[in-house]
């Protein structure tokens, strides 16, 4: 059986990715207003979601229930510009951890995150 991404990189990888992502979000005029002033919970939730999705513990679901990504994002107006800003921020974050992934895993992770961002556009 193939090893999960989580098994390959461990939880600290996802913490690093999420920290790098929110560093960009904190400076982005389009994205920042969509997040609470204190980003602590948003960071934790994203890290837990990614850990679970990529083969780690199911802490996210135990604490928050089914991810229901579309429902959780309905309160936010996600325009094509917001989607593109989110993807750009995540690309910067991914580049910051690229050396910890094989090219195949990097592409798989980037493709997934980009796909989800496109699916969540709602305006």
Structure tokens at 64: 């928050």
Per-residue model confidence (pLDDT) at position 2: 67
Q: Has residue 3 been placed in a domain?
A: no
Interval 67-82 mean pLDDT? 92
pLDDT higher than threshold 70 for residue 1: no
Does the pTM surpass 0.75? The reply is yes
**52/50 Cα distance (integer angstroms):** 5
Q: Has residue 1 been placed in a domain?
A: no
Q: Has residue 100 been placed in a domain?
A: yes
| Count of domains observed in the chain | 1
Q: Has residue 91 been placed in a domain?
A: yes
Mean pLDDT rounded to a whole number for the chain: 96
């Amino acid at each position: 059986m193939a090893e999960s991404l989580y098994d390959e990189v461990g939880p600290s990888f996802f913490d690093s990715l999420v920290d790098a992502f929110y560093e960009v979000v904190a400076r982005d005029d389009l994205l920042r207003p969509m997040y609470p002033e204190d980003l602590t919970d948003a960071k934790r939730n994203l890290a837990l979601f990614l850990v679970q999705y990529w083969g780690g513990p199911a802490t996210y679901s135990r604490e928050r229930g089914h991810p229901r990504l579309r429902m959780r994002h309905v309160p936010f107006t996600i325009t094509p510009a917001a989607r593109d800003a989110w993807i750009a921020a995540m690309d910067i974050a991914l580049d910051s951890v690229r050396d910890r992934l094989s090219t195949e895993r990097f592409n798989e992770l980037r493709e997934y995150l980009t796909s989800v961002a496109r699916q969540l556009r709602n305006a």
